[in-house]
Amino acid sequence: MTIRVVLVDDQEMIRMGFRMVLDSRLEIEIVGEASDGDAVLDVLGQHEADVVLMDVRMPRMSGIEATRLISDLPSPPKVLILTTFDLDEYAYAALRAGASGFLLKDAPLEEIASAIGHVHAGDAVVAPTTTRRLLEHFTRPEPRRGDAHAEPRRGDAHAEPRTPGFEELTPREHEVLRHVARGLSNAEIARELVLTEGTVKVHVGHVLAKLGLRDRVQAVVLAYETGLIQPGDR
């Protein structure tokens, strides 16, 4: 099965580079390009796509807003954010806008192709270490001075999740969600909990359904934002 990909980046040389390396893969076909976020919907109207590789910083419309527009389509393609990293806060915002993950622009070809395949399959798309680095940076609570009686902040040890649906999770599903938030794959969670990978997949599906989440990336963001897991938890 060929994965149809649209490239979105304001730098022509970067688009050319991605097209050159990805077109060499039998399982990937570049079906369209856009030089800015404001042109994405027009391109998608002309070409059916499975995955959009989306730059974050563009002059007319950011990848965040473009991702939000794509997510509102009736049958949207998956969005994979491109970032130069150096901890790019816009990449995190794009995940919240509906992107399914992110990767580095200078990642090896095998990693890029693998990420596209994972996104297309609806799986996690970022390496566990990268997930933790990004989320630990952007969910680290700001220190408060002279406020000894302040209520727990997001990420505090005693903060309780406040999102409707958490109470519906079984103890095992809570455990699986914590491991997902750490960036572990289904296979890694299976080894940690001494379960089969298929059983873990079922638990993950139940977690997503009960919490009304689209994919694992949203589960990771939610777990950090509600304080279910803290930056640095292992």
What was the pLDDT predicted at 153?
41
Answer whether residue 83 shows pLDDT above 90: no
- Record the tokens describing residue 178, joined without a space: 């914590």
Residue 233 pLDDT > 60: no
Kindly state the average pLDDT of the residues 206-222: 83
Confidence band of 4 (pLDDT split at 50, 70, 90) = very high
SS3 of the chain: helix, strand, coil, percent, to 5? 45, 10, 40
Whole-model pTM: value is 0.68
CB 183 within 8 A of CB 223: no
Domain boundaries, the chain: 3-126, 166-225
Q: Region 201-215: what's the mean pLDDT?
A: 88
Question: What class has domain 166-225?
Answer: mainly alpha
190-225: burial string, b at 16+ Cβ within 10 Å, e else: beebebeeeebbebbebbbebbebebbbbbbbbbbb
> Which tokens is 195 given?
């379960």
**The most confident of 92-106, 160-174, 179-193, by mean pLDDT:** 179-193
Q: Distance between CA atoms of 114 and 60, rounded to whole angstroms?
A: 30
Return the bridge partners of 34, or none: 8
pLDDT of residue 157: 36
pLDDT at 159 over 90: no
Q: What is the pLDDT of residues 44-70, one digit of tens each?
A: 999 999 999 999 889 999 999 999 999
* Predicted local confidence at residue 160, as pLDDT: 45
Residue % of the chain over a pLDDT of 90: 37
DSSP for residue 157: T
Fold of the domain built from segment(s) 3-126: Rossmann fold (3.40.50)
Question: DSSP letters of 64-123?
Answer: HHHHHHHHTSSSPPEEEEEE--SS-HHHHHHHHHT--EEEETT--HHHHHHHHHHHHHTS
Same fold, 3-126 and 166-225: no
Edge-first strand order for the sheet with 3-8 is 28-34, 3-8, 51-55, 78-83, 101-104
Q: What is the rounded distance in angstroms from the CA atom of residue 31 to the CA atom of residue 77? A: 13
Q: Is residue 40 predicted with pLDDT exceeding 70? A: yes
- The rounded radius of gyration (Å) of the Cα atoms in the chain is 18
Average pLDDT of the chain is 80
